[in-house]
A = this chain, B = another copy of it.
Amino acid sequence: MPEIKIAPEFVEHTIMELARFGAYADTGVWRTVYSPEWVAAQDLYATWCAEAGLAVSRDAVGNVWGRLAGSEGGGSIVSGSHIDSQRPGGRYDGALGALAGLIALRALKEQFGTPRRTLEAVSLCEEEGSRFPSTNFWGSRAITGRIAPDDPDKVVGYDGETIAEAMRGVGLDPADIPSAKRDDIDVFVELHIEQGPILEHADLPVAVVDAITGIRHYDVMLTGEQNHAGAFPMDLRRDPMAGFAEIASGVINTAHRMGRPAVTTVGRVLVDPNGAAVVPRSVNFTVDARHPDPAQRAVLYARHEALMREVAERRGLEIAWKHNIDHAPCLSDPGVVATLQEAARSQGIPFMTMPSGAGHDSQQMARIAKVAMIFVRSKDGRSHTPEEFSSIPDIVEGIRVLAAGLHALAY
Binding site for B on A (CB under 8 A): 194-198, 201, 213, 215, 217, 219, 226-236, 239, 241-242, 244-246, 248-249, 252, 255-256, 259-271, 274-280, 286, 288, 290, 324, 356-359, 378, 381-385
Select which of B242, B265, B269 is within 8 A of A229 by beta carbon: B265
Q: In whole Å, how far is A329's beta carbon from the nearest beta carbon of chain B?
A: 12
Select which of B197, B270, B358 is within 8 A of A230 by beta carbon: B358
Contact status of A277 and B267, CB under 8 A, knowing A196-B231, A236-B197: yes
Q: In whole Å, how far is A232's beta carbon from the nearest beta carbon of chain B?
A: 5
B261 touches A381 (CB 8 A): no
Q: Please, how many angstroms separate the alpha-carbon atoms of A232 and B383 in the complex? A: 10
Contact status of A196 and B233, CB under 8 A, knowing A276-B288, A288-B277: yes
18 A–B pairs (Cβ distance < 8 Å), ordered by A: A197-B233, A198-B233, A228-B384, A229-B265, A229-B288, A231-B358, A234-B260, A234-B262, A239-B265, A241-B267, A242-B249, A244-B245, A245-B245, A265-B279, A268-B271, A268-B274, A268-B275, A270-B274
A249 touches B246 (CB 8 A): yes
Residues of B within 8 A of A197 (CB): 232-233, 236
Q: Please, how many angstroms separate the alpha-carbon atoms of A262 and B234 in the complex? A: 8
Q: Please, how many angstroms separate the alpha-carbon atoms of A244 and B217 in the complex? A: 20
B268 touches A231 (CB 8 A): no
B245 touches A233 (CB 8 A): no
Residues of B within 8 A of A255 (CB): 234
Residues of B within 8 A of A382 (CB): 227
Q: In whole Å, how far is A330's beta carbon from the nearest beta carbon of chain B?
A: 13
Residues of B within 8 A of A227 (CB): 196, 381-382
Contact status of A228 and B195, CB under 8 A, knowing A245-B248, A246-B249: yes
A232 touches B357 (CB 8 A): yes
Residues of B within 8 A of A201 (CB): 236
Q: Please, how many angstroms separate the alpha-carbon atoms of A89 and B213 in the complex? A: 49
> Told that A235-B260, A239-B252 touch, could you supply 12 new A-B pairs with CB distance under 8 A?
A196-B227, A215-B230, A228-B357, A229-B357, A230-B288, A231-B357, A242-B252, A245-B246, A267-B279, A269-B269, A269-B271, A277-B288
One complex includes copies of this chain to the number of 2
- Nearest B residue to A196 via CB reads B231
A269 touches B274 (CB 8 A): yes
Q: Please, how many angstroms separate the alpha-carbon atoms of A198 and B237 in the complex? A: 12
Residues of B within 8 A of A359 (CB): 230
A271 touches B279 (CB 8 A): no
Contact status of A252 and B234, CB under 8 A, knowing A228-B384, A324-B276: yes
Q: In whole Å, how far is A261's beta carbon from the nearest beta carbon of chain B?
A: 7
B268 touches A276 (CB 8 A): yes
Q: Please, how many angstroms separate the alpha-carbon atoms of A324 and B275 in the complex? A: 13
Residues of B within 8 A of A274 (CB): 267-270
Q: Please, how many angstroms separate the alpha-carbon atoms of A213 and B229 in the complex? A: 12
Select which of B228, B261, B276, B290 is within 8 A of A286 by beta carbon: B276
Q: Please, how many angstroms separate the alpha-carbon atoms of A385 and B54 in the complex? A: 70
Q: Please, how many angstroms separate the alpha-carbon atoms of A392 and B393 in the complex? A: 82
The 10 A-B residue pairs whose C-beta atoms are closest, nearest first, are A196-B231, A230-B357, A245-B248, A195-B231, A229-B265, A276-B286, A234-B256, A230-B358, A245-B249, A231-B357
Q: Please, how many angstroms separate the alpha-carbon atoms of A259 and B215 in the complex? A: 42
Q: Please, how many angstroms separate the alpha-carbon atoms of A242 and B196 in the complex? A: 19
Residues of B within 8 A of A226 (CB): 385
Q: Please, how many angstroms separate the alpha-carbon atoms of A384 and B245 in the complex? A: 25
B245 touches A265 (CB 8 A): no
Residues of B within 8 A of A256 (CB): 234-235
